[in-house]
């Protein structure tokens, strides 16, 4: 079976030019040739304005079709261009995955008056005030859409909380009062801040039956309208996990097991990830936050980081079948809320650690591949990523043997399938080193070279199938047959 690779097809600082869907459609053949089989598209819905990355979501039923929030197109283009990009990706054998933002709604059309209490930012269960009235931005009418596709209006009672009182012009975290109101049960959301139901804007109340019905109505319309092949679920640690389990169960029952779903559960704690996967019946995968955090720590610490621990606490180690592994993404890039950008010197090794191993579905970040421009500029890693993607597509198969036995130098081998060529991967965070690894007696006497070109020498495989494979200081090498043939 061919290795699958996911590509995150955006970064935070893309230009607000409405041309991104067109660029992705044009890039589809090239991405497919590199082994990209799934692509995570940015949020396609009308948000607070044309410059919104998409997480300040306003109208899920507007994909860049209606004049709302000062624009017809979204940051990325029009609805027609979105559909054309999806078609181009599918024509090239790439499954498009939609970024779905269900936690909140932003930029309401009107204010409404309702009763709230203010709660503490660091303890959402601590009430700071007596009940009082505010004017909150909670009435969504979508007048530019004129009831096309769906006629539902949103009111204050469809939300659990909001963050701004227009009457007093004061920001805070306001818990909406009323029958059956309140945050989600603390067992169903992340326990940071005691109860992390509320994240931002007007927070959806998944206890309200009209909210649940509207989400189901939207999902049916959206999947059938676009032909999308799956969802990336934003901010799931803030969303009632009981709703999420049932929603994804119903979606996969309706659209089949090949409708791929993964969620952003931004919590690096091992027990929290175990618990969330259990509560949601392993119905969808999670991004491997802990592995990213380990990469970040390794890049910062350099030779002081113990590479033997690089997989400790990760989904890749504990739940490899449920892990979406990544190096960086739009939230971790410089200047963003979760900024934890992996150091440039360590990125090639980090990508080798996700692309050339069995565990997880690896995700390549647009910003790492194409580079990032502007104030938070970053160079492109396309040259090294192209080589790693070639190795993943053609060579990274078969039995995996780890040599994670040195704090500053680790490696592993993949022995191939059906006499396919093996690879030996070695990385160092300190001095130039070598590691003795086994690639098989069948390759005795064969010359191996570094596919990445970091080393110019060759390695001869000994009669017993073993060899000493070198690596440069603070570098990574992938050793394979010098005279390579098609797999």
Question: Which residue's structure tokens are 């901010």?
Answer: 235
Q: Are residues 118 and 85 in the same domain?
A: no
Q: Report the number of distinct structural domains present in the chain.
A: 3
The verdict on whether 264 is a catalytic residue reads yes
Q: Are residues 49 and 193 in the same domain?
A: no
Encode pLDDT of 136-178 as tens digits: 999 999 999 999 999 999 999 999 999 999 999 999 999 999 9
Q: Are residues 99 and 111 in the same domain?
A: no
In a domain, 301, yes or no: yes
In a domain, 186, yes or no: yes
In a domain, 297, yes or no: yes
Percent of the chain predicted with pLDDT > 90:
98
Encode pLDDT of 318-353 as tens digits: 999 999 999 999 999 999 999 999 999 999 999 999
Encode pLDDT of 103-135 as tens digits: 999 999 999 999 999 999 999 999 999 999 999
Confidence label for 484 from pLDDT (cuts 50, 70 and 90): low
Which residues are annotated as part of the binding site for Ca(2+)?
Answer: 103, 197, 203, 205, 238
Q: Are residues 384 and 434 in the same domain?
A: no
In a domain, 487, yes or no: no
pLDDT at 485: 56
In 375-483, the DSSP E strands lie at: 400-403, 409-414, 423-428, 433-438, 447-450, 458-460, 466-471, 476-481
What's the full length of the chain, in residues?
487
pLDDT at 257: 86
- pLDDT reading at 64 higher than 90: yes
Confidence label for 487 from pLDDT (cuts 50, 70 and 90): very low
The CATH number for 184's domain is 2.40.30.140
| Domain C-terminal end among 337, 361, 395 | 395
- Of 136, 137, 139, 146, whose CA–CA distance to 61 is shortest? 146
Q: Are residues 476 and 408 in the same domain?
A: yes
Q: Are residues 346 and 451 in the same domain?
A: no
Q: Which domain holds residue 458?
A: 400-481
pLDDT at 1: 86
**Long-range contact set of residues 139-143: C-beta below 8 Å, sequence gap at least 24:** 139/108, 139/109, 139/110, 139/111, 139/112, 140/58, 140/59, 140/105, 140/108, 140/109, 141/109, 141/110, 142/59, 142/61, 142/62, 142/66, 142/68, 142/109, 143/68, 143/109
| Domain C-terminal end among 352, 367, 395 | 395
Encode pLDDT of 174-218 as tens digits: 999 999 999 999 999 999 999 999 999 999 999 999 999 999 999
Write down the catalytic residue from 99, 165, 264, 288: 264
Write down the catalytic residue from 52, 59, 118, 234: 234
In a domain, 292, yes or no: yes
Instruction: Calculate the average pLDDT of the chain.
Output: 97
Average pLDDT over residues 444-455: 97
- pLDDT reading at 483 higher than 80: no
In a domain, 1, yes or no: no
pLDDT at 100: 98
In a domain, 248, yes or no: yes
pLDDT at 253: 96
Average pLDDT over residues 444-460: 97
- H/E run at residue 272: helix 270-279
Encode pLDDT of 278-308 as tens digits: 999 999 999 999 999 999 999 999 999 999 9
Task: State the Cα–Cα distance between residues 288 and 310, nearest whole angstrom.
Answer: 12
Q: Are residues 380 and 280 in the same domain?
A: yes
The verdict on whether 234 is a catalytic residue reads yes
- H/E run at residue 175: strand 170-176
In a domain, 235, yes or no: yes
Q: Are residues 263 and 308 in the same domain?
A: yes
Percent of the chain predicted with pLDDT > 70:
99
pLDDT at 346: 98
The CATH number for 379's domain is 3.20.20.80
Q: Are residues 111 and 81 in the same domain?
A: no
Q: Are residues 288 and 152 in the same domain?
A: no
The CATH number for 412's domain is 2.60.40.1180
In 226-322, the DSSP E strands lie at: 230-233, 260-263, 285-287
| Domain C-terminal end among 188, 204, 220 | 204
Q: Are residues 222 and 370 in the same domain?
A: yes
Q: Are residues 14 and 93 in the same domain?
A: yes
pLDDT at 417: 84
């Amino acid at each position: 079976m061919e290795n699958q690779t996911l590509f995150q097809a955006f970064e935070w600082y893309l230009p607000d030019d409405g041309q991104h869907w067109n660029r992705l459609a044009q890039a589809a053949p090239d991405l497919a040739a590199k082994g990209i089989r799934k692509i995570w598209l940015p949020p396609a819905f009308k948000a607070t304005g044309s410059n919104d990355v998409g997480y300040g979501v306003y109208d899920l039923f507007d994909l860049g079709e209606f004049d709302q929030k000062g624009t017809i197109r979204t940051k990325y283009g029009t609805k027609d261009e979105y559909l054309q990009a999806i078609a181009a990706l599918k024509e090239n054998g790439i499954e498009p995955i939609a970024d779905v933002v269900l936690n909140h709604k932003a930029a309401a059309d009107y204010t409404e008056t309702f009763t709230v209490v203010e709660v503490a930012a660091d303890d959402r269960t601590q009430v700071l005030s007596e009940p009082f009235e505010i004017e909150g931005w909670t009435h969504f009418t979508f007048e530019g859409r004129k009831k096309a596709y769906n006629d539902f209006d949103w009111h204050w009672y469809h939300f659990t909380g909001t963050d701004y009182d227009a009457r007093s012009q004061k920001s805070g975290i306001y818990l909406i009062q009323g029958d059956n109101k309140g945050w989600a049960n603390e067992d169903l959301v992340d326990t940071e801040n005691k109860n992390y139901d509320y994240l931002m804007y007007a927070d959806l109340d998944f206890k309200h039956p009209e909210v649940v019905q509207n989400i189901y109505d939207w999902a049916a319309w959206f999947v059938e309208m676009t032909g999308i092949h799956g969802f990336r679920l934003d901010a799931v640690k803030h969303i009632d996990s009981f709703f999420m389990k049932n929603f994804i169960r119903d979606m996969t029952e309706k659209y089949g097991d090949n409708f791929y779903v993964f969620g952003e559960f931004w919590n690096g704690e091992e027990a929290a990830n175990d618990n969330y996967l259990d509560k949601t019946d392993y119905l969808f995968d999670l991004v491997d936050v802990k592995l990213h955090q380990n990469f970040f720590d390794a890049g910062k610490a350099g030779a002081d980081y113990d590479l033997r621990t690089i997989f400790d606490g990760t989904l890749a180690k504990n739940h490899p079948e449920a892990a979406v592994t990544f190096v960086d993404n739009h939230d971790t890039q410089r200047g963003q809320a979760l900024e934890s950008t992996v150091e440039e010197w360590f990125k090639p090794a980090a990508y080798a650690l996700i692309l050339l191993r069995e565990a997880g579905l690896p995700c390549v970040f647009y910003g790492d591949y194409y580079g990032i421009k502007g104030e938070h500029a970053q160079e492109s890693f396309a040259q090294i990523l192209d080589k790693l993607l070639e190795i993943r597509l053609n060579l990274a198969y078969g039995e995996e043997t780890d040599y994670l036995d040195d704090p500053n130098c680790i490696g592993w081998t993949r022995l191939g399938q059906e006499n396919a060529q093996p690879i030996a991967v070695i990385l160092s965070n300190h001095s130039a080193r070598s590691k003795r690894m086994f690639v098989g007696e069948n390759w005795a006497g064969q010359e191996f070279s570094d596919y990445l070109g970091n080393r110019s020498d060759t390695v001869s495989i000994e009669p017993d199938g073993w060899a000493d494979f070198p690596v440069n200081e603070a570098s990574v090498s992938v050793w394979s047959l010098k005279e390579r043939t098609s797999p």
